[in-house]
A = this chain, B = another copy of it.
């Protein structure tokens, strides 16, 4: 019975909190919660009926699943400090290869929910895609089953594909957010607040539910409106970096729409 899997949760941050709460609600038994400070371990452990600990080397060895939900740059050190050898060991990182476990564990993998998390904001894992990877077929099956208990969209992926996923998210989220920063700066000399753009921004991402990004491309470059492009480039004369971005993105859209 997988629902009786006993879990040790390593980490008490944003993702650990949301994943822990969901696993607990779904009937999994959380034995221990580790955090560097006993205070933050206790804060989460109390909500999960679990025992808090700040002793990584002394974790219980009777759990079936060890979830490493710690920062990317701390992961390797944490893995090397854990002495437990049995059970399945998984991390939750988008960009760290599964093989980070290879020299220490026999059954290991990755369980990567693609979303940003906050401790205080409950999330619905059924709306979050989860990317799973495992060191062997049995572990892959187990992670798939756990994934399907927690969420709805489970993808078995390789570390290479997870890398490309992370890269694509940088374009889709981090870089598009930077363009919102540019938009805000362009509005600064006016009396128009950035919030006036929000309804249009929301509508433009809403369209992605029914159209591909290429289908929903609009704007001066998409309609090859050279007059407006020229006018915009002139408006950006004092911001060479924005001007360069405008030119590069417009050229790319032009080529993409009329390949």
Q: Which residues of A contact B (CB under 8 A)?
A: 95, 114-116, 127-129, 131, 153, 155, 157, 161, 163-165, 167-184, 186-187, 189-192, 194, 196-205, 208-209, 212-214, 216-222, 228, 231-232, 235-236, 241-242, 244-246, 248-249, 252-253, 255-256
Contact = CB atoms under 8 A, between A and B. Distances in A.
Contact of A187 (B165, B175, B235): B165
Given A180-B213, A199-B129, A217-B174, A167 B186 contact: yes
Nearest to A196: B129
B248 A216 contact: no
Contact of A176 (B153, B179, B198, B203): B179
Contacts of A232: 167, 170
Nearest to A155: B192
Chain copies in complex: 2
Contacts of A176: 175-176, 179-180, 201, 204
A157 B196 CA distance: 13
21 contacts: A95-B228, A115-B200, A116-B200, A116-B218, A128-B199, A164-B187, A164-B235, A167-B232, A168-B186, A170-B246, A171-B179, A174-B218, A174-B221, A175-B179, A176-B179, A177-B217, A179-B179, A201-B205, A202-B205, A241-B255, A248-B248
A251 to B, nearest CB: 8
B191 A155 contact: yes
B184 A219 contact: no
A183 B172 contact: yes
A185 to B, nearest CB: 8
A178 B252 contact: yes
Nearest to A158: B190
Contacts of A131: 192
Contacts of A175: 176, 179, 219, 245-246, 249, 253
A4 to B, nearest CB: 30
A116 B168 contact: no
Contacts of A155: 191-192, 196
B200 A208 contact: no
